[in-house]
A = this chain, B = another copy of it.
Amino acid sequence: MAEGLLTADAARSLVGSVDAFLFDCDGVIWKGDELIQGVPETLELLRKLGKKLVFVTNNSRKSRRQYSKKFKTLGLEVTEEEIFTSSFAAAMFLKLNKFSPEKKVYVVGEDGILDELKLAGFECFGGPEDGKKNIMLEANFYFDHDKSVGAVIVGLDQYFNYYKMQYASLCIRENPGCLFIATNRDPTGHMTSAQEWPGAGTMVAAVSCSVQKEPIVVGKPSSFLMDFLLKSFNLETSRMCMVGDRLDTDILFGQNTGCKTLLVLSGVTTLPELQDASNTIHPDLYTNSVYDLVKLLQQ
């Protein structure tokens, strides 16, 4: 079914029929370190209307604590408990699946994943530190790895290199039962306000190709994050609206979990892409940016 443009009537009906708004962050709330216009007014209005707000991001570079600080820096009051990151989801996945505390976790990613793992009580290594390590493919070079690694987590990693690819591959291939977890598979993202950058999906694609195996995905559009979120709050997904800028993660996530869905065109998806015949993912509603909610509700 084709999506509908968010009109004043549709906005009133939407706000009347949901108790909670789930917001993606990159491309919806901010672009890189720049706040998107009208976001403070929108969040303020929705809070005034008694709506619960939750921020769900696939960006695993930061922990919940770091994200809460980022919100503060941008002038927004958001608590850690309102934030669900794919880095947090990865740690919670291990916790819920009773990952043995005697095993270690190897991380292809940044501090957000390491921090969440440590907060959850897991021993982990890799991350930015291994970004400094080089491989020299020379005769008889043997690359050793830790046999006690029981899970590899792959997320967005600006320090990605051949060393980490091989380390992750050896753990997944040679350590019996080693889990291969991806925070998410976004191909690109607005990591800076100026342009798009390769997303976690590119690191996941490389490691997945090397080990010829598909990962367990814990971020959007996987329903793992939603199941966990529902356990934390007393909410029904039919009374929730997922607001995002990506069709294949945000909107699909909302649809997979039974939420209403609103696509904003302030991030990576353009109107021609949404309306292209090849697109099979259709949100319930779409609009330019979250600020339209304020403008339309005040009409």
Answer yes or no: A158 CB below 8 A from chain B CBs.
yes
Please, what's the 1-or-0 string for A119-156, where 1 marks a CB less than 8 Å from any CB in chain B?
A: 00000000000000001111111110000000000000
Are A206 and B202 within 8 A (Cβ)?
A: yes
Q: How many copies does the complex hold?
A: 2
**Which of A138, A139, A209 has most B Cβ within 10 Å?**
A209
Cβ of A79: which chain B residues have Cβ within 8 Å of it?
none
Are A162 and B159 within 8 A (Cβ)?
A: yes
Are A210 and B188 within 8 A (Cβ)?
A: yes
Answer yes or no: A187 CB below 8 A from chain B CBs.
yes
User: Which of B140, B141, B158, B212 meets A137, CB within 8 Å?
Assistant: B158
Answer yes or no: A32 CB below 8 A from chain B CBs.
yes
Please, what's the 1-or-0 string for A40-61, where 1 marks a CB less than 8 Å from any CB in chain B?
A: 0000000000000000000001
Answer yes or no: A201 CB below 8 A from chain B CBs.
yes
User: Which of B142, B193, B195, B209 meets A201, CB within 8 Å?
Assistant: B209
Cβ of A170: which chain B residues have Cβ within 8 Å of it?
195
Are A202 and B207 within 8 A (Cβ)?
A: yes
Interface size on A, residues (CB 8 A): 44
Answer yes or no: A205 CB below 8 A from chain B CBs.
yes
Cβ of A137: which chain B residues have Cβ within 8 Å of it?
61, 158, 191-192, 197
Answer yes or no: A78 CB below 8 A from chain B CBs.
no
Knowing that A34-B139, A187-B209, A202-B205 touch, tell me 13 more A-B residue pairs with CB under 8 angstroms.
Answer: A33-B138, A34-B140, A61-B137, A136-B158, A141-B194, A142-B195, A143-B194, A170-B195, A187-B210, A187-B212, A188-B210, A202-B209, A205-B206
